[in-house]
Structure 1
């Protein structure tokens, strides 16, 4: 039980620091004492589920993340046959496969994006992360900030995600792209 409390405490502290909050600030938001937050983070107090739920809500993390005990923080192995399609469909022209079971607050998310041949030009989109892409197979047209860039197998690009962009296949074949979404701290 002590190890379990220490794991919950580490996660609370990690999430709090990720949000750049002091123990006092988190305590104020949750209507708790700084001492109680400190005891939770140090594995000296077992938070009630309602308390942990309130903390999770304030830190923007799912309650389940704090309660999971089998997350591997230092090593993530995903066998090829175990990869899951995260999101996507023929309607949007993409599918995404996750490549790592990453920690809740990792700053990098690696995925394989399959650009489907039926993908049509849709509105470019933006997101808050920087993005690195490497074309594994096929070729794509990367539309970035209104400009067209042709990329084929072996080519790569790194760009800021908050600039409008989209990539589409150049042929009637699918293309596979390794993408890394990288959360960049804004100062």
Structure 2
């Protein structure tokens, strides 16, 4: 819950720095004003694709919203000091930021836990390229209308602006995916 609330505060901070109303941001991201309000108040955990759209519209790196503590030259995150994950059963994923980096870093490493009960939802798009490595379990990666089965040890690199989503291939077991979001264009 802490990270979810922290993300909301950062969304609001970035939105206000651009002099956008919640309605302005909602329209730019094809979301409702109510959803933006819930994100800013820590009442909703945005999917990474949604947060990516928000970050793009606010000219702010996605990683800045996910980090909880900024260090300039070295980032060490001890396993026993990690903050709570964001995400939930409704969006089908949980996300755990792996590094606390400067605001304008071009790479965001994240552990994505793909929940087995997640239903197929519309594929996402975002501005960052994405690299995924399956740590355990297996997933079905839907990319540009094609299905790709990936299991432990497999990886994929793809453009985030093409519709995609990955879901657990085994409805009884979650999958864990090391994901890197890679910003190609300077903001």
- Is TM > 0.5 for Structure 1 vs Structure 2? yes
Q: Comparing both chains, which one has the higher relative contact order based on Cα–Cα distances under 8 Å and sequence gaps of 6 or more? A: 2
Q: Give me the TM-score of the superposition, normalised by structure 2.
A: 0.61
Q: Give me the TM-score of the superposition, normalised by structure 1.
A: 0.61
| Structure 1 runs of 4+ with >3 Å offset | none
Does 2:181 correspond to 1:181? Answer: yes
Q: Against the structure 1 CA distance between its residues 107 and 141, is the aligned structure 2 distance closer, same or farther, given a 3 Å change threshold? A: same
Structure 2: gaps (5+ residues): 1-57
Bigger CA radius of gyration = 1
The Cα shift of 1:102 comes to 1.1
What is the alpha-carbon distance in structure 2 between the residues aligned to residue 115 and residue 185 of structure 1?
28
Q: Against the structure 1 CA distance between its residues 85 and 129, is the aligned structure 2 distance closer, same or farther, given a 3 Å change threshold? A: farther
- Equivalence for 1:12: none
The Cα shift of 1:74 comes to 1.2
- Equivalence for 1:149: 148
Q: Against the structure 1 CA distance between its residues 170 and 71, is the aligned structure 2 distance closer, same or farther, given a 3 Å change threshold? A: closer
Q: How many residues align?
A: 121
Structure 1: gaps (5+ residues): 1-58
What is the alpha-carbon distance in structure 1 between the residues aligned to residue 118 and residue 180 of structure 2?
21
The Cα shift of 1:87 comes to 2.4
> Superposition RMSD on alpha carbons, in Å?
1.9
Q: Please say if residues 85 and 96 of structure 1, whose CA atoms lie closer than 8 Å, have aligned partners that are also in contact.
A: no
